[in-house]
Amino acid sequence: MDVLKVFDEKLSSYCPTIFVETQLDTPIEIAGEEAKSIKMSFCYADDKTVQVVGFGECADCKESNIKTIHAFQGLRVTINCRNGNGAINTRGEGKLDKDGKFEVLLPKEMVKDGKLKEDCFAQLHSASAAPCPTHNGIEASKIVFTNSENNEKQTLKPVENLKFSTTLCTSAFLWPFFKFPPFPKFPPFPLYKQPYLPPIPTIKKPPLPPIPTYTKPPLPPIPPLLKKPFPEIPIFKKTLFPPSLTHP
């Protein structure tokens, strides 16, 4: 094996065959299984590691008084891609660290000419492996290229941080919920039967006395009017001549 000159020494799990050449420049093809015996695998020199880097963001930790380190515990991220036929496949998986950061490696054949062959989206999963609902819509979790350039890595990221609610995306710190001890078993309650009540007797009220009819008493007789006799008017006769007065 010391006469072989290797093209590239990058380790990769996506190389189906390995090409080496001898000192005589004669290409020899070695199968992948044979490559395990020399404990090496090789890729083309222009291949780069494709990774998705992003952050999770707790939307209600401040209101619920929950520490973010507890909200991120046990959460995982999968990169789901839709091919030309409309089928959705999971291309990678990673977990969130204590700061909410995640890194997911993707197959190198997903990228061609600096573009993704498929539409990929980041999906957050709770500690119980249940998918968490998207907080800002599915377009916010779409995978796009970053502006950073690296000769060894091609870095992608979601359009926005993966926001989630602790009530809908439970972490390992909050799940499973605290199991309270079961209630003690009490003896069965005696079946209480309401005593039979005798029928209520019907009370017959006596008939009411007849309403008396009020008749006004007759008025007393009117006393007769007494007419007072008027005295006779005296008639004075006027003398014709006054009496003569004679002096003695």
> Please, what are the domains in the chain?
5-37 (no CATH), 49-164 (2.60.40)
pLDDT attached to residue 5: 37
pLDDT attached to residue 148: 66
Which regions in the chain score pLDDT beneath 70?
A: 1-47, 148-151, 175-180, 239-248
Residue 153 neighbours by CB under 8 Å, 6+ apart: 48, 49, 50, 51
pTM of the model: 0.51
pLDDT attached to residue 162: 92
pLDDT attached to residue 175: 62
pLDDT attached to residue 177: 55
Distance in angstroms (rounded) separating the CA atoms of residues 55 and 161: 5
User: Strand runs (DSSP E) across 83-196, as ranges?
Assistant: 88-95, 101-106, 111-112, 115-116, 119-125, 143-145, 153-158, 162-164
pLDDT attached to residue 27: 42
pLDDT attached to residue 244: 63
